[in-house]
Amino acid sequence: MKKTTNQALVIFGASGDLTYRKLIPAVFDLFMNDSLPEGYAILGVSRSTLTDSQFRKKMKEGIRLFAYYKDAGKEKINEFLSRLYYLSIDTSKGEEYQHVKEKLASLNKKHNLEQNYIFYLSTPPSLYTTIPKYLYGQGLTLQQKGFRRIIIEKPFGHDLASAIDLNEQLLEFFREDQIYRIDHYLGKETVQNLMVTRFANGIYEPLWNRNFIQHVEITAAESIGVEDRGGYYDQSGALRDMVQNHLLQVASLVAMEPPTKITP
């Protein structure tokens, strides 16, 4: 994989389950594949009070449990962890984003980040407009010297009207080409292989239609339960969390016609 330019990944909600189980282990795998640039840093931002050392210890545990290269040597893991930093702020208060700006300025000098920042919102959807607004207030969304991008996890709104409203508000602070709306489920290897199985396989492609397929069943088998995410599920529910995004998107890949192009 080709290396990218120097940059910082800023994860809001960094003390949460997604960062621990998915994000940091995935970035560590990129590190092990020599796919990260020479100059990079990962800044975790959340309300929880943690030191850099405590944050690194927790993320090390996540790497050991969930990364593809979980059996990597101690030296490699510690080398990666040395680029992880943590900042505790109240993300609902605009004045506290000055600390984010100051911390990024410090890391920019230390690791030659070239003022390239990616903001990843691993937070409740209620903060999807709050955080961009306050980043904008600190001038952190403007691409004057380096690039600025924002990644937003599902659920993107709780219905069509709120999704449209959220989109309009985001465009007040970021340009469309800076916004990345993602569903991490689509990055799973099995899901990715659906496209290859369907469209690059001369055996299956002619048979993949109603004349030869009686029914389709999609099973989402999880190895863990709700765990400590009860607060999130009480608000969103399993239908919004799994069905209207993850499973319907998989169903779309199963049933759709071959795309004429892969760009919007």
**CA atoms within a 13 Å half-sphere pointing along the CA-CB vector of 55:** 27
The enclosing H or E element of 40 equals: strand 40-46
d(CA 68, CA 61): 13
Q: Which residues is 45 bridged to in the sheet?
A: 12, 87
Q: What are the residues whose beta carbons fall under 8 Å from the beta carbon of 141, sequence distance 6 or more?
A: 132, 135, 148, 150, 173, 174, 178
Q: What are the residues whose beta carbons fall under 8 Å from the beta carbon of 140, sequence distance 6 or more?
A: 97, 100, 101, 104, 117, 119, 148
Query: How far, in whole angstroms, is CA 183 from its chain's centroid?
Result: 8
Catalytic annotation present for 99: no
Residue 111, φ and ψ in degrees, nearest 5: -120, 10
Length of the chain: 264
Q: Do the beta carbons of residue 191 and residue 253 sit within 8 Å? A: yes
Q: Do the beta carbons of residue 58 and residue 21 sit within 8 Å? A: no
Strand duo 40-46 + 7-12: pairing? parallel
Annotated catalytic residue, options 99, 158, 215, 246: 246
Task: Please list the active-site residues.
Answer: 246
